[in-house]
Amino acid sequence: MFSRIGIAVNGWAAAVCVWSVAGFAQDKPPGYPVRPIRIIIGVAPGAGADMVARATAQLLTERWGQNAVVDPRPGGGGVLATEMAAKASPDGYTLLQSGDGLLLQTATKRVAFDILKTFDPIVSSTQQPYILLVNLGVPAKTLKELVALSAAKPLTYAGSAGVGGTVHLGMEKLGRLSGMKLKHVAYKGSAPSLLALMAGEVNVGVTSVMSATAAIRSGKVRGVAALGLKRASSLPDLPTIGEQGISDFKITNRYNLWVRAGTPRPIVLAINRVVSEGMHSPQMIKRLTGEGSEPADVQTPEALKTELARYYIDLQRQVQELGLKF
């Protein structure tokens, strides 16, 4: 599994190099960067988030000629990475990559600070659905069969980086909508969760389409449903959860880059421009499509922050409605 993921990571880097050296203007802010840029992620290497972070790091490195490195800090449902980034100086040298679910850390009071006040979002890089998987020992190929199987004994599932993550919240909601009995098992990220699923330690897994595509093609897990509103381009034969009876439900992910609030605006705008342009290059779009992902919509940092503020209000409502305690 790790070899397949490694190939994917190298492929991303190769795709970036093809176009990134093709003549981008050196439009970096005066005096920045003069030392390596660090991108902290809250999951273990090999996960979809790791692939995206490495592609993003390559974009920055090739554009400005200064190394950008990925620093995986798994654990605590992403809290360890968030707390580390929160202690960084607002100078643009420490970035945090996380999905929209980062806001759950405030909604569930898992951090002692307000995410939207501590950090400023810079840019969204990619967006992709999650995929519902089972290990090969589970005799179910559809959601209906999973629900029936869970009637006798709750199914264990993994995929989140811990309690209170996007996957955890989404799967608890799916259990209520479908009647499926579930028991959450936390791991330090999606890559360890996927390995646990392959080993039969848990019945059900949820992971990004990038990791899921490689795992399904390896023949070590079985796909049950795409958790987006449309089928994943890399898994066209896998029906959506909506096609299997659960309408208006999705578990999707969008990767965002964040920086400490107060970071100079020219730096924020420059990073936004490099990542937005890079992710929308023809070569990168082709690569993303092959992995079942796509570039995120281009937005200014201000527009992104407004959207995330609205999303935070919705997250608070979901946590209250589901009665989840953390």
Same domain, 111 and 181: no
Q: Is the same domain home to 121 and 60?
A: yes
Indicate whether 29 belongs to any domain: yes
Q: What CATH number should be reported for the domain holding residue 210?
A: 3.40.190.10
Q: What pLDDT score does 165 carry? A: 72
- The predicted structure's pLDDT at residue 161: 58
Domain boundary among 226, 245, 276: 226
- What is the model's pTM? 0.76
Spatial separation of the C-alpha atoms in residues 290 and 284, rounded to whole Å: 10
Question: Of the ranges 15-19, 64-68, 239-243, 244-248, which one carries the lowest mean pLDDT score?
Answer: 15-19
Whether 120 is covered by a domain: the verdict is yes
Last-in-domain residue among 226, 245, 277: 226
Tokens of 229: 């509103």
Residues 120 and 133 occupy one common structural domain: no
Q: Does residue 325 have a pLDDT over 90? A: no
Q: How far apart are the first and last CA of the chain?
A: 32
Query: Is the model's pLDDT at 326 over the cut of 70?
Result: no
Q: What is the reported pLDDT for 157?
A: 95
Q: Which two tokens stand for residue 34?
A: 């003069």
Asked if pLDDT for residue 7 goes beyond 90, the answer is: no
**Which residues, other chains included, contact 242 with Cβ-Cβ below 8 Å and sequence gap of 6+?**
229, 248, 249
Same domain, 117 and 222: no
Return the pLDDT at 160: 63
How far is residue 162's CA from residue 78's CA, in Å, rounded to a whole number?
7
The C-alpha angle 44, 47, 53, rounded to 5 degrees, equals 90
Alpha helices, H only, 2-139: 2-20, 48-64, 79-86, 104-107, 115-118
Same domain, 198 and 303: no
Q: How many domains does the chain have?
A: 2
Q: Which amino acid is at 247?
A: S
**CATH assignment at residue 299:** 3.40.190.150
Q: Say yes or no: 124 and 179 in one domain.
A: no
Q: What is the pLDDT of residues 103-116, one digit of tens each?
A: 988 888 889 999 99
Q: Which domain holds residue 57?
A: 2-128+253-322
The more confidently predicted of residues 292 and 177 is 177
- Of 211, 226, 241, which residue sits at a domain end? 226
> Is the pLDDT assigned to residue 24 strictly greater than 70?
no
Bigger pLDDT: 9 vs 250:
250
Q: How confident is the model at residue 163 (pLDDT cuts 50, 70, 90)?
A: low
Q: What is the mean pLDDT of the chain?
A: 87
The answer to whether residue 236 sits within a structural domain is: no
At 80 the pLDDT is 94
Instruction: For the chain, give the percent of residues with pLDDT over 90.
Output: 63
Q: Is 23 among the domain residues? A: yes
Are residues 208 and 158 part of one domain?
yes
pLDDT bucket at 247, cuts 50 / 70 / 90? very high
Residue 247, domain member (yes or no): no
